[in-house]
């Protein structure tokens, strides 16, 4: 039983830990980085593509707010880039305590409209990137007997996409199976592996693929009557990374406003 407010606050804190978030220059990943740094007190490593400026600008802003933040350049689907970036990171600051596999792309195409190269590219980012980062860091977390890995899945991983997005929905479903398998492997060492399945989230990706009218139609299907903000997903990621979730592993937490109830 918790005996004080101080102990309760510590339960939800990740102060003193290092969190690596992939694809975190914008959208949900950006909100997770901000939340873990400013609310959780963690050092954050913010990954995005080598040509991106967004993650570097985010690092600069977080540092200006008194947070500890580092930029990491790597295409998550490129094994050499991932391994080189992780080698440098671990040489500089050590193995992260928290890994959030957030990087993702989508194509709004049906199977008839999807070429094999497009299919492979979407899966390479979602599944390939998650595999590469997890494979590199999980053994070190297990040796240390502590750590948390969080995958960013989606409601479409449960129910399939309503229109198109065949590669994206397939990848998000695959992440759930990968999460459960890693959780069974890592559990005896005390390392936890979980996933988050957001519903409709107000991100740049959603606006680009659905537009205002499409988002309005989607919102009508949400019992809570609104799409989620990226911050509402980030708060769940912070929870899963903290000791407050220390008895949760192999789970996929639904954050969808009631869009899917199971």
Q: Mind telling me the catalytic residues? A: 168
**Torsion angle, CA of 247/69/74/230, rounded to 10 degrees?**
60
Beta bridge partners of residue 98, listed in sequence order: 19, 148
Buried b (16+ CB within 10 A) or exposed e, 41-52: ebbbbbbbbeeb
Interior angle at CA 69, CA 68 and CA 74, nearest 5: 160
Task: Mention every residue, 6+ apart, whose C-beta is less than 8 A from residue 167.
Answer: 106, 107, 109, 114, 118, 119, 122, 123
Instruction: Give CA–CA dist 18/41, Å, rounded.
Output: 9
In 42-85, where do the E strands start and end?
43-48, 69-73
Closest of 147, 158, 224, 216 to residue 186, by C-alpha: 147
């Amino acid at each position: 039983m918790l005996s004080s407010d101080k102990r309760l606050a510590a339960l939800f804190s990740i102060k003193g830990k290092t969190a690596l978030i992939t694809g975190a220059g914008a959208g949900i990943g950006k909100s997770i980085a901000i939340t873990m740094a400013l609310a959780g007190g963690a050092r954050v490593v913010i990954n995005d593509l080598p040509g991106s400026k967004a993650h570097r600008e985010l690092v600069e802003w977080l540092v200006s707010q008194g947070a500890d933040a580092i930029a990491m350049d790597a295409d998550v689907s490129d094994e050499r880039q991932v391994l080189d970036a992780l080698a440098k990171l671990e040489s500089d600051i050590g193995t992260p305590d928290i890994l959030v596999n957030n990087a993702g792309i989508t194509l709004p195409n049906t199977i008839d409209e999807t070429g094999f190269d497009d299919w492979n590219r979407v899966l390479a980012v979602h599944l390939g990137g998650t595999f590469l980062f997890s494979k590199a860091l999980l053994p070190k977390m297990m040796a240390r007997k502590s750590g948390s890995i969080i995958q960013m899945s989606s409601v479409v991983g449960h129910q399939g996409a309503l229109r198109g997005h065949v590669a994206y929905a397939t990848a998000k479903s695959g992440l759930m199976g990968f999460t459960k398998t890693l959780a069974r492997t890592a559990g005896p060492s005390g390392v936890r592996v979980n996933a988050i399945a957001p519903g409709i989230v107000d991100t740049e990706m959603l606006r680009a693929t659905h537009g205002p009218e499409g988002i309005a139609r989607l919102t009508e299907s949400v019992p809570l009557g609104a799409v989620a903000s990226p911050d509402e997903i980030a708060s769940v990621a912070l929870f899963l990374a903290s000791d407050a979730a220390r008895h949760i592993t192999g789970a996929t937490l639904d954050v969808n406003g009631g869009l899917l109830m199971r």
